[in-house]
């Protein structure tokens, strides 16, 4: 929907705000005349309050390709979820089963074009009958080439889709562990600068940022960008520079072998690397409420607002958390749910959420913020139907109807698999660089006469970036910047190793020459003593 800002009787921003109330998922753009100096204030105010998605200058002539490009971007965003698309995979499963949710989330975050068919729908029953499969064994996946997978693992799906190449070699310049945005940035910079790079991901590209519906404060995307979309573009960029991807595989261990590092993989393979970057991100912290844990994937979700939002149409939904991820989830869900309640343990959002998100939440008609509140219980028959909220400091409780609960309350690092030589803080985050000395941690793996490089861990040649690193800033731009900085440190490390080798080789040659001269002199002296040599 396009509307002129200056219309008789109503401004364009007011009109588009009303449109958003009637059609929450419609893309709305403000039409602004070239040279209109009164427009910027209206644009900034409307975007910060969620009244419009973007603005576009009125066409100046025919054709006006700048105008076309912006409209095309709107149509692309709209069509991704609403227009018929090529189906790489058709999934038939139970709508509210945990495994069905995991598959939808897994495929969505990895950018796999797919359609989900509930097993009790007409389309689902027809598909099962057509391939002769028993509806008692679900989920069933039908691939575009005709392959049928029954209750497959994620690794089975990746292999069947041809996502994983056969590793024709076992040695790389750099192995990046994790394909969150920090790991993807490291892979892009490393591969583009000539390093033979392998990136290993055991779940989905994008990490936590991949679940964000719209990131508006990342440099270069004034109208915002979805986390999964950004991750897909970064992965393609790394691939085009020559990086090798290994999906649905875990790194199970690291250990030094001379100048190299042995990287053990869950597929029983091992590769060696000159350097390693740990970018394993972190997983969303659990609520720890047993009755809700049993409903995980059946109305209770951890950081999965994007893949499940449309199923919440017209329902009451709760989001737990006070950070940016929770705010983005609440705003995205409000386009579908009749009411969204943001549950916050504290009494303010100012210390944990960006101001632009707070303003948009405050301006929304169907988002309510519940301060000083906790979710303490909940239940339902087969799926989430109600929650129990506790209000502090009174400790009074209330049971409320709820179709969905989205939990975004911080994260715990994926670092338990690391060897003891790699120092971590009390929360499990990897300590790097100058923090190794400042934290007073022992350098069990440190055996060289130099200070750690930036982002380097206590094991030489191993670096850490992203959410798993001690002291990291939980922002997309920070993660991407850390990935590029780590690659610079990798180059510096490889240069140091090369200089040490050259120095050692030079010393060895000097020693060999000196040894040869000594041997020749001893031989000459011995010959002279016996009278056999020439004087």
For the ranges 11-20, 138-147, 304-313, 340-349, the lowest mean pLDDT is seen at 304-313
* pLDDT for residue 518 is more than 60: no
Domain ranges of the chain: 2-82, 89-160, 171-284+413-493, 290-409
Q: How distant is the alpha carbon of residue 341 from its chain centre?
A: 25
Question: What are the C-alpha distances in Å from 495 to residues 183, 198, 414, 464?
Answer: 22, 20, 30, 19
pLDDT at 521: 53
435: its two tokens: 């923090």
In this predicted model, what pLDDT tens digit does every residue of 172-214 receive, in sequence order?
A: 999 999 999 999 999 999 999 999 999 999 988 988 888 787 8
pTM: predicted TM-score of the whole model, two decimal places: 0.79
393: preceding bond cis by omega (within 30 degrees): yes
Distance CA 531, CA 518 (A): 20
* pLDDT for residue 535 is more than 50: no
Question: Whose CA is closest to 210, among 463, 404, 479?
Answer: 479
In this predicted model, what pLDDT tens digit does every residue of 373-415 receive, in sequence order?
A: 999 999 998 889 999 999 988 999 999 999 999 999 877 888 9
Please compute, for residue 100, the number of CA atoms within 13 A of its CA located in the half-sphere on the CB side: 24
Task: Write a three-state SS string for 97-152.
Answer: CHHHHHHHHHHHHCCCCEEEEECCCHHHHHHHHHHCCCCCCCCEEEECCCCEEECC
Q: What share of the chain in percent tops pLDDT 90?
A: 51
Question: Whose CA is closest to 401, among 383, 386, 384, 389?
Answer: 386
Enumerate long-range contacts of 311-315, CB under 8 Å, 24 or more apart: 311/95, 311/404, 312/336, 312/337, 312/403, 312/404, 313/337, 314/338, 315/403, 315/404
pLDDT at 511: 64
Q: Which residue has the tokens 């790991």?
A: 183
Higher pLDDT among residues 509 and 407, named by residue: 407
Q: Which residue has the tokens 């239940």?
A: 379
Question: What are the C-alpha distances in Å from 187 to residues 184, 201, 238?
Answer: 5, 12, 6
Question: What are the C-alpha distances in Å from 493 to residues 149, 185, 447, 456, 497?
Answer: 45, 19, 14, 9, 6
pLDDT at 326: 92
In this predicted model, what pLDDT tens digit does every residue of 429-468 receive, in sequence order?
A: 999 998 887 655 545 555 667 888 999 999 999 999 998 9
Backbone phi and psi for residue 213, each to the nearest 5 degrees, phi listed first: -70, -35
Q: Which residue has the tokens 């000594």?
A: 518
Q: Are 360 and 49 in contact (CB under 8 A)?
A: yes
In this predicted model, what pLDDT tens digit does every residue of 37-85 receive, in sequence order?
A: 888 888 888 887 788 989 999 988 888 898 999 899 888 888 876 777 7
Backbone phi and psi for residue 268, each to the nearest 5 degrees, phi listed first: 70, 15
pLDDT at 389: 97
In this predicted model, what pLDDT tens digit does every residue of 335-378 receive, in sequence order?
A: 899 999 999 999 999 988 999 999 999 999 999 999 999 999 99
Q: Are 163 and 139 in contact (CB under 8 A)?
A: no
Distance CA 16, CA 283 (A): 38
Across residues 162-170, what is the average pLDDT? 77
Distance CA 316, CA 322 (A): 19
Q: Which helix (H) or strand (E) holds 45?
A: helix 39-48
pLDDT at 43: 86
User: Taking CA 257 as the corner, what is the angle to CA 255 and CA 259, rounded to the nearest 5 degrees?
Assistant: 115
Do 2-82 and 290-409 agree at the fold level?
no
* pLDDT for residue 304 is more than 70: no
Distance CA 46, CA 48 (A): 6
| Superfamily for the 290-409 domain | FAD/NAD(P)-binding domain (3.50.50.60)
CATH architecture of 171-284+413-493: 3-Layer(bba) Sandwich (3.50)
The CA dihedral of 439, 442, 447, 451, to the nearest 10 degrees, is: 10
**Maximum average pLDDT range among 12-21, 164-173, 503-512:** 12-21
In this predicted model, what pLDDT tens digit does every residue of 197-208 receive, in sequence order?
A: 999 999 889 888
Distance CA 180, CA 310 (A): 25
pLDDT at 534: 42
Q: Under DSSP, is residue 228 helix (H, G, I), strand (E, B) or coil?
A: helix
Distance CA 199, CA 191 (A): 10
pLDDT at 422: 93
pLDDT at 291: 93
CATH topology of domain 89-160: Glutaredoxin (3.40.30)
Higher pLDDT among residues 531 and 111, named by residue: 111
**How would you class 185 by CB atoms within 10 Å of its CB: exposed for 0-12, middle for 13-18, buried for 19 or more?**
buried
Q: Under DSSP, is residue 423 helix (H, G, I), strand (E, B) or coil?
A: coil
Q: What share of the chain in percent tops pLDDT 70?
A: 91
Query: How does the average pLDDT of the chain come out, rounded?
Result: 87
Q: Under DSSP, is residue 426 helix (H, G, I), strand (E, B) or coil?
A: coil
For 211-243, the DSSP string reads G-S-B-SSTT-TT-B-HHHHHHHHHHHHHHTT-
Across residues 231-252, what is the average pLDDT? 94
Distance CA 246, CA 230 (A): 19
Distance CA 407, CA 263 (A): 33
Task: Kindly state the DSSP code that residue 157 receives in the 8-state scheme.
Answer: H
The arrangement of strands across the sheet holding 89-93 comes to 114-118, 89-93, 140-143, 148-150
Go through the chain and tell me how many residues it has. Answer: 535
Question: Whose CA is closest to 450, among 500, 408, 516?
Answer: 500
Higher pLDDT among residues 526 and 413, named by residue: 413
Terminal-to-terminal C-alpha distance of the chain: 105
Task: Kindly state the DSSP code that residue 335 receives in the 8-state scheme.
Answer: T
pLDDT at 358: 94
Question: What are the C-alpha distances in Å from 307 to residues 103, 249, 304, 361, 514?
Answer: 10, 23, 6, 21, 71
* pLDDT for residue 496 is more than 70: yes
Strand 270-278 relative to strand 462-464: parallel, antiparallel, unpaired?
Answer: parallel
Across residues 107-134, what is the average pLDDT? 91
CATH of domain 2-82: 3.40.50.2300
């Amino acid at each position: 929907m396009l509307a002129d800002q200056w219309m008789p009787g109503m401004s364009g921003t007011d009109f588009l705000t009303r449109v958003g109330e009637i059609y929450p998922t419609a893309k709305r753009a403000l039409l602004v005349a070239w040279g209109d100096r009164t427009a910027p204030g209206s644009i900034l105010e409307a975007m910060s309050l969620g009244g419009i998605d973007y603005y576009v200058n009125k066409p100046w002539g025919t054709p006006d390709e700048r105008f076309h490009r912006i409209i095309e971007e709107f149509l692309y965003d709209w069509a991704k979820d609403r227009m018929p698309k090529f189906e790489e995979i058709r999934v038939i499963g139970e709508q509210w089963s945990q495994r069905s949710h995991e598959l939808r989330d897994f495929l969505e975050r990895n950018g796999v074009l797919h359609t989900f068919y509930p097993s009790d729908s007409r389309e689902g029953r027809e598909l099962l009958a057509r391939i002769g499969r028993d509806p008692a064994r679900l989920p069933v996946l039908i691939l575009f080439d005709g392959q049928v997978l029954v209750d497959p693992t994620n690794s089975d799906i990746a292999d069947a889709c041809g996502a994983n190449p056969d590793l024709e070699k076992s040695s790389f310049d750099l192995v990046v562990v994790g394909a969150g945005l920090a790991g993807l940035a490291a892979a892009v910079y490393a591969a583009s600068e000539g390093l033979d790079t392998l990136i290993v991901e055991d779940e989905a590209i994008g990490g936590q940022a991949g679940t964000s519906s719209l990131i508006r404060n990342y440099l270069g995307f004034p109208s915002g960008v979805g986390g999964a979309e950004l991750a897909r573009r970064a992965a393609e960029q790394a691939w085009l520079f020559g990086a090798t991807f290994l999906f649905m595989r875990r790194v199970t261990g690291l250990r030094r072998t001379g100048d190299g590092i042995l990287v053990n993989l869950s597929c029983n393979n091992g590769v060696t690397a000159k350097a390693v970057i740990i970018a394993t991100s972190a997983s969303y912290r659990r609520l720890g409420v047993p009755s809700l844990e049993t409903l995980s994937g059946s109305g209770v979700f951890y950081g999965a607002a994007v893949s499940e939002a449309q199923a919440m149409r017209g329902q009451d939904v709760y989001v737990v958390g006070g950070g940016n991820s929770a705010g983005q989830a609440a705003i995205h869900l409000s386009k579908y749910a009749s009411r969204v309640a943001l549950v916050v343990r504290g009494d303010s959002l100012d210390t944990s959420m960006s101001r632009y998100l707070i303003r948009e939440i405050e301006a929304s008609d169907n988002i309510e913020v519940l301060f000083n509140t906790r979710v303490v219980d909940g239940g339902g028959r087969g799926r989430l139907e109600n929650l129990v909220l506790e209000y502090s400091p009174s400790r009074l409780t209330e049971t409320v109807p709820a179709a969905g609960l989205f939990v975004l309350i911080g994260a715990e690092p994926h670092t338990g698999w690391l060897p003891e030589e790699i120092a971590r803080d009390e929360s499990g985050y990897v300590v790097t660089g100058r923090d190794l000395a400042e934290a007073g941690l022992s350098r069990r793996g440190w055996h060289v006469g130099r200070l750690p490089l930036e982002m380097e861990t206590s094991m030489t040649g191993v670096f850490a970036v992203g959410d798993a690193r001690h002291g990291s800033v939980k922002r997309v731009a920070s993660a991407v910047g850390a990935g590029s900085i780590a690659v610079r440190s990798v180059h510096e490390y490889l240069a140091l190793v090369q200089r040490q080798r050259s120095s050692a080789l030079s010393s060895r040659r000097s020693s060999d020459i000196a040894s040869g001269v000594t041997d020749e002199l001893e031989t000459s002296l011995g010959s002279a003593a016996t009278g056999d040599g020439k004087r």
